[in-house]
Structure 1
Amino acid sequence: MPKLRAFEKHYGTTILPTRPYTPRHKGKVERGVDYVQENALRGRTFATLAEQNDYLSHWEATVADLRIHGTTRKQVRAHFLASKKGALMMLPLERFANFQEARRIVSRDGHVAIDRAFYSAPPEYVGREVWARWDARTVRLLDSELKTIAVFARSEQGKFNTKSQHIASEKINSIERGGSYLLRKTAFIGDCSARWGQAMLREKGIRGHRVLQGLLALSKKHRCDQIEQACEIAWRHGDYQLRTIRKLIDRSGPVQELMPFLDDHELIRPLADYDRYVHECVQDKLTY
């Protein structure tokens, strides 16, 4: 287990587990427990744990350490001082952190659940198994090689703890990207729209992000020149309401196409013909 490996690393030691279903490999370990139970504790009762510990400490110094060991044929204390004590290292200043750990599958929303609180993992781990390690203050997520991939402070039940770098880019909406991102997109409509958007944000602050989203949505239904004209009028009047932009667009009709004026065409009579016709009409009127 990862916790066992962390324990070994903390104390600079190695644990050699016995093979399953081979009790003969545990004989020496089990015999030490039997020796204490049969020699020190058999037939004795203690009123408190402190009383029992005091008794065992005295028994170890006066009995267990002075006996001749059945395998080495040497006194236990003397053999320890001569060949074992010098190889021991100093214990770490801090005790091993008594954390809990378990495997967790990263859910489709990118989080793992620990004590009914939720902690995010990098998007590439969605659907994969990670190790979760937690204590009273900290939650750590580790990969299959026990390398830390995320660290969180413990939080209350029901809360989601999501790091921004764990959100896939396609899942970040325009509101989360901020006003600068929205203004850059507004500039594609035109200069008037960008100028109106900047002035609107200065007045409304973060509330203006929704307004910019609405303005961008208008570009899917109306031509850019219509939006530009509406934004120019609204900006000149200091009006930064999206509904004003909508009304101005609705009131603006289609742009009238201007036809070039032709001086000469096969279907158009020369002006001299009209001049002659008018002259003849005047002469006839004078005759009558």
Structure 2
Amino acid sequence: MVAKLSQNTPLPFRRMEVAPGQEAQIDFGAGAPIVAADGSRRRTHVLRVVLSHSRKAYSEVVYRQTTDDLIHCLEHAFWHFGGVPKTLVPDNLKAAVLKADWYDPDLNPKLRSFCEHYGAALLPTKPRMPRHKGKVERGVAYVQENALKGLTFSSLREQNDHLLHWETTVADTRIHGTTQQQVLKHFREVERPTLGALPRERFPCFQEGQRIVSRDGHIAVAKSYYSVPPEYLGRTLWVRWDSHLVRVLNDQMEVLCTHATQSPGRFSTLPEHIASEKISPVERGAEWLLKKASFIGENTKDWSHGLVATRGVEAVRVLQGLLNLSRKHPAQVIEQACETAHSFQSYRLPTIRKLIEHSASKQGTFEFLDQHPIIRNLSDYGDVVRVDFRTEAYRS
């Protein structure tokens, strides 16, 4: 008797009902098998999305429970409902949640972007608490027992067509046991007006993944290579790509750069991603070299323009050699050489070198002064020498 009195009395579960348009619960279950013409069988998964207030639902079968499959099914459900609920409540399936946490779960970035596109929030249930989405738990069982039990199909499309017809003719027309309302009528009159508006365009379908920036400042995506800013060398970045664009994102999922999708084996390098120290003067082009040459002086500028006009593409390397001379010789010497060469219309770098060498070999002449306050007469030096001799003779 004492043991019975000491037992705790469990508290009853609290039913949670929500306002129209506030919530949709999501869950996967086993679908009917697909039997091919050769007799091979393939299992399927049925995803059911249930609006928590009216119990209006959408069902679709897929072969796999990937993030892309989940996104496609959710998008089809939104367009089937004609609107978007404010929150989506799945369990902690891998397609939606990278790391389960009741307070702050780590959501799949692609699914998060999908929710942002449609203006919905994703709120997974507490781990190992299936009753937190009890409405859809029972809804999946309802599909399995009423719509798919004992059936097989030859394709996914055939099974999905069957499910859509069943939703319309059976699930929507029933009187729900809890709400005591016809599902379709209650949805049309009460919940559909409260759903969020659909966007003008559907969610852009893309692939994504993480990539490490290689030593050459590029990342590999589908056998092509795309540049990133040089400060991200060696770091891991998120990449999203489709048939048109490749977007590179940082850890905060902010877009760093965008490239046009390249064919396999091709490189896409944006000019701003090349470090200035790694850009050679030849790559910068003749205009940049002419501007640098003009800083030496007007004669050098005139000679450089004459060089480009005379020799065309060959002038780029010659200009580079001229700029290298400015590191070894004063600007005045180069100016004099360029003036002379330009006057004879000689646009060869060896000519400039010889003129500079000839100018540098000249030595200035200096006149010696006969008289200066610090210069003594020769007689004074003679007296010094005689005194020195006498001192040496005395010592010996």
Q: Mind listing any 5+ residue stretches in structure 2 that lack a counterpart?
A: 1-107, 376-396
Counterpart in the other structure of 1:202 = 309
Find 1:155's aligned residue among 262, 266, 270: 262
Deviations 1:5-55 (CA, angstroms, capped at 9, x unpaired): 221122222222223343443443233222212211112233455544443
What is the root-mean-square deviation in Å for CA atoms of aligned residues? 3.1
1:192 matched to 2:299: yes
Larger proportion of strand: 2
Please list every run of 5 or more consecutive structure 1 residues that lacks an aligned counterpart in the other structure. Answer: 267-288
| Aligned twin of 1:237 | 344
Does the C-alpha gap of structure 1 residues 48 and 224 become closer, same or farther in structure 2, counting only changes over 3 Å?
Answer: closer
Give the residue type in structure 1 aligned to 2:201: E
1:40 match = 147
Deviations 1:121-174 (A, max 9, x none): 233433444321111110112233333221111012333322222333333333
Q: Letter of the 1:246 partner, please give it.
A: R
- What's the counterpart of residue 9 of structure 1? 116
Matched residue, 1:260: 367
Partner of 1:173: 280
Deviates more, 1:32-41 or 1:87-96: 87-96
CA separation of 1:133/1:201 partners in 2, compared to 1, >3 Å: closer, same or farther? same
Mapped pair 1:67 → 2:174: yes
Of 48, 55, 58, the match for 2:162: 55
Structure 2 residue 125 is matched with structure 1 residue 18:
yes
Could you tell me which residue of structure 1 aligns to residue 185 of structure 2? Answer: 78
SS of residue paired to 1:66: coil
Classify the secondary structure of the residue corresponding to 2:259: strand
1:101-112 pair list within 5 angstroms: 101-112=208-219
Give the residue type in structure 1 aligned to 2:117. H
Q: How many Å separate the matches in 2 of 1:90 and 1:163?
A: 38
TM-score, normalised with respect to structure 1: 0.77
Structure showing greater relative contact order (alpha-carbon pairs closer than 8 Å, 6 or more residues apart): 2
Change (3 A) 1:61 1:187: closer
Cα shift at 1:105: 3.5
Distance 2:156 2:225 in 1: 41
Q: Which residue of 1 aligns with 2:225?
A: 118
Which amino acid in the other structure matches residue 64 of structure 1?
A: A
Q: Give TM-score, length-normalised by structure 2.
A: 0.58
Query: In structure 2, do the counterparts of structure 1 residues 82 and 147 end up closer, same or farther at CA, with 3 Å as the change threshold?
Result: same
Whether 2:319 is the aligned partner of 1:212: answer yes
Which of 129, 143, 148 is residue 250 of structure 2 equivalent to? 143
Q: Which residue of 1 aligns with 2:30?
A: none
In structure 1, what is the Cα distance between the partners aligned to 2:334 and 2:124?
75
- Letter of the 1:88 partner, please give it: L
Q: Equivalents in 1 of 2:153, 2:222: separation in Å? A: 39
Give the Cα–Cα distance (whole angstroms) in 2 for the partners of residues 181 and 58 of structure 1.
70
1:72/1:111 CA distance change after superposition, 3 Å:
same
- Quote the Cα distance in structure 1 between the aligned partners of 2:336 and 2:290: 18
Give a deviation string over 1:228-286, Cα, whole Å, max 9, x none: 444333222222122333344456671132233878899xxxxxxxxxxxxxxxxxxxx
Amino acid aligned to 1:136: S
When residues 38 and 168 of structure 1 are mapped into structure 2, their CA distance, relative to the original with a 3 A threshold, is same
Residue 212 of structure 1 and its aligned partner are, at CA, apart by 0.9
Larger Rg: 1
Identity rate, percent: 54
Distance of aligned partners of 1:219 and 1:119 in 2 relative to their CA distance in 1, 3 Å threshold? same
Partner Cα distance (1:135, 1:234) in 2? 58
2:130–2:137 CA contact under 8 A, matched in 1: no
Equivalent residue number for residue 277 of structure 1: none
